[in-house]
Amino acid sequence: MEHPSKQDVEQRMARFERMCRDAGIRLTHQRMEIFREVARAGDHPNAAMVHRRVRERMPTVSLDTVYRTLWLLNDHDLVTTLGPSRDRTRFDANLTRHHHFVCVRCGSTRDFYSKELDDLRLPSSAKAFGRIETTLVEVRGVCRACSRKATPPGTT
């Protein structure tokens, strides 16, 4: 799994702390650890994944606290959400322009960058729905790990 660089995580944490202070949001240890987990994860974790990982460092953190914190962060534009439903939503602290590769077998989600996709011209049919704020391309396929599992031994 590809993780953001230490510098990226530090920049995300600094932005998080600054924006929380500016918005009057208390910087509790739990909130910082929950955000830190999303900021350093390369797999766009859902709330249950964040909860499991944070509990390794903070055994008393509840799943409810993780959910409430993630939605608070989303409401203040500190993370974005991926996916259509609120109960299986994945969270992403990478707010730079990027796109996603989603494995149709295991659901793993990874970032990728593309100037060509950033410059994609949308058809008027999409603009007819309203003002476009951002374009995010989600590419679906089978990840390398799942491809290896599906390939019978000795056939490569």
How far, in Å, CA of 57 to CA of 21, rounded?
A: 24
Average of per-residue pLDDT across 32-48: 93
**Longest Cα–Cα distance in the chain:** 59
How far, in Å, CA of 58 to CA of 74, rounded?
A: 22
Asked whether residue 140 carries a pLDDT value surpassing 70, the answer given is yes
How far, in Å, CA of 6 to CA of 132, rounded?
A: 33
How far, in Å, CA of 13 to CA of 7, rounded?
A: 10
How far, in Å, CA of 71 to CA of 69, rounded?
A: 5
What pLDDT score does 87 carry? 55
Contact between 120 and 135 (Cβ < 8 Å): yes
Query: Which helix or strand (DSSP H or E) is residue 80 part of?
Result: strand 80-82
Distance of CA 85 to the CA centre of its chain: 14
**21-38 pLDDT tens trace:** 999 999 999 999 999 999
Asked whether residue 54 carries a pLDDT value surpassing 90, the answer given is yes
Higher-pLDDT residue of 19 and 81 is 19
How far, in Å, CA of 104 to CA of 109, rounded?
A: 10
What pLDDT score does 65 carry? 96
How far, in Å, CA of 110 to CA of 123, rounded?
A: 26
Asked whether residue 88 carries a pLDDT value surpassing 80, the answer given is no
Asked whether residue 69 carries a pLDDT value surpassing 80, the answer given is yes
